[in-house]
Structure 1
């Protein structure tokens, strides 16, 4: 009997060790020692650019914590003007490395700051560093009506989600969405799946335009508890004009 008690006590002790180790690991991945060791911007700060001209930011980095990949973006957070940023198509890995991201205004305006934003695997923001820049965007006077409307008539022909609704989902769960598309422009269209909620959330940015017919996978994550009743499917052309938009009803309840 004594051995039984010792065994039970040992199992309890092991369970407590595992619990606290997992809790510490979860806490650790909300902190990072990420350092941006080099920044190259092309075209250079001070440039005057036509609307929709991308700014490419190449980053050298190093970090050891958390011991997991990090998603990273370069964003324009000033909402005075419409902007588009490239999605986190390749993650940072612990150690040293280099990554490039693109961002631009879709209309005339100025950009005084870019922001380097990194999130962990649960899409919790762990890093946000501003970059002072000075870009002026001018309206593209050469844009004609045909170019602005390029891709109209394209459509999403099928939607498949990784977690069918209605469903109860833990906050922070990534939901993948496979979209079948029929796109009628050789230039291709950018596609987004955007959760319509005031809660803290994230969704995959542009990772390259799609053309013809096929299937593309996108994802989104709602980070806070609450309800989600719709997602918005958006397609934009090379002129950053929305040529297709569809609201899809869903029924997700997010819990803590």
Structure 2
């Protein structure tokens, strides 16, 4: 993989960046046509599966059992991987999902941790939180709750969760170092981070880097592997492992009709651990 400068969205005002992201995902949350149509069953020309931000979940690494176990309305096809697959969740654990959207990964995590476990989803978009809360009853998941908040300022106590997961959301933040610091704060000693996200592999053209749609579609805010490793280490994490997924080019190349974005970013799994003693 070639090295590339970490350009991301550094020149964009942070508040404006958050507003763009919030507006985009509010529109997605309130678009009823998206519910269930990105599960590989809708082949219409005008459905949400043709939106550059939606991806068939089985392409992302979810099994058919995963997609069938969650009620319609939670899986919006917005991720770039399957964090549950790398989280090694155990019964009774508490899980925190950063940028939880309509709750798909939260409900899958709830199945893994069981009735004695707990899952907390945090999202900054009120419409998404409302949609996710509606989905709690649909999925009979009393051990799942959703909170409105920014991932840079998590609405959780110190050392209260065993695992932090996230799916293609941290790249959207203009303050990724603060996100990792907050995740570290929320984890118990020995707790772990299991994230699916995109990483930058080549310098983005200005036309992509400054395009609001590219930002909200998980492209313009991506950072290099080296930058993410440094940010995680600065936050205090150890056992950092970032593994790019070359096969993700198959779905990333479909995210934009005008250019092949797989030339610039690749999906990756990001794992790290808070030390047991500090």
TM-score, length of structure 1 as denominator length: 0.25
Choose between structure 1 and 2: higher strand proportion. Answer: 1
* Higher RCO structure, 1 or 2 (CA under 8 Å, sep 6+): 2
Higher helix share: 2
Normalised to the residue count of structure 2, the TM-score between the two structures is 0.23
Q: Looking at CA atoms only, which structure, 1 or 2, has the larger radius of gyration?
A: 1
